Structure 1
């Protein structure tokens, strides 16, 4: 009984770190998928496996949240942070499965660039989450969050340019629809990374 009353600070932050690492792994697999279509199904399977691991981490964190009376940071912040990070991998999995389902024969430079920006955002999320256990790191964490916002803005610009080019130059309607869906999923990954950054900024404001 008394164990439930004790702060389990280290455990929550360990789970955040585990999940953030899986986000990076998933994003790396997406970049690899975009780089070499010969390994498409291998990469899709790898991303699906990583997403399942992340689900387990998320469920563990939420279960622990329900069983812990005293938490190191606000309970809602813990829940939002872990679920938004889980959204990142859900979307990466959706993008990979969509590429496979739509039988895309060749990827565009714009899609590859969006995947690279997803990876950049995921790496910054991992860096920020890794420092979150110590509020003395608040200045560095906030600087990383600014970088995530910048990368998300870059993804917005790439997305708009990609859509403009697609509607201007792509003569095949089916190909247009397929690529549009992939662009949107990848750009939404960076949106979720920005959501994570916003949650982290709120945690810093409340606790630093």
Structure 2
């Protein structure tokens, strides 16, 4: 009954605009993260870009949460909206934490698995951009949304594998050398893995909304 009632009332369509704006910060943040992971002389520039995009994402998140409080009719449940935007924001927050760790430990070179993890994170961000507009017409897009969320989960699993591979390589590389390099490498790997975990959380929130609405 509630679903039918919502269907006949006007909606605040700005939610979808804000979702899409936030998703674009994920794409931009992931691209900056990839740039950082290439190493070289521009690491600081890319770290600053990650922080800039994280600040933009925070501002959009605040707009969404304010709209949730002020809007009478929302496109789907208020809790679902809050959980979705929060999970998205957590993803770019974790990108910033990665960049902060790189700056703190003055990392200048990155292992190949780290760069591969960065590429997968960029793929995850692009999948979220594809998925969010489909939520405006969930019933017509169930199969596509499901395929996207399944791919996000699959990519998160691949990042987990790279994390394990990377830790093993780090151990073999540094077990008779500088322990601090090993510790710092582990820190970077852990942060990158957490970014992918947060994208998996986004996939779960999208699935939750889809189940609720269909």
> Corresponding residue for 2:179?
173
Picking from 113, 117, 120, the partner of 2:116 is 113
In structure 2, C-alpha distance between the alignment counterparts of 1:130 and 1:207, rounded to whole Å: 15
Match runs of 1:4-83 below 5 Å: 7-83=10-86
Spell out structure 1 runs of 4+ moving beyond 4 A. Answer: none
> Corresponding residue for 1:185?
191
In structure 2, C-alpha distance between the alignment counterparts of 1:148 and 1:73, rounded to whole Å: 22
In structure 2, C-alpha distance between the alignment counterparts of 1:184 and 1:117, rounded to whole Å: 15
Picking from 90, 101, 106, the partner of 2:104 is 101
> Corresponding residue for 1:3?
none
Structural RMSD (CA): 1.2
Is 1:7–1:72's contact at 8 Å kept on the other side of the alignment? Answer: no
Q: Does 1:141 find its partner at 2:136?
A: no
How many residues are paired up? 203
Deviates more, 1:126-135 or 1:179-188: 126-135
In structure 2, C-alpha distance between the alignment counterparts of 1:169 and 1:38, rounded to whole Å: 24
TM-score in terms of structure 1 length: 0.94
Question: Structure 1 stretches of 5 or more lacking a match?
Answer: 1-5
In structure 2, C-alpha distance between the alignment counterparts of 1:145 and 1:111, rounded to whole Å: 23
In structure 1, C-alpha distance between the alignment counterparts of 2:49 and 2:86, rounded to whole Å: 21
Deviates more, 1:149-158 or 1:102-111: 102-111
Question: Structure 2 stretches of 5 or more lacking a match?
Answer: 1-8
TM-score in terms of structure 2 length: 0.91
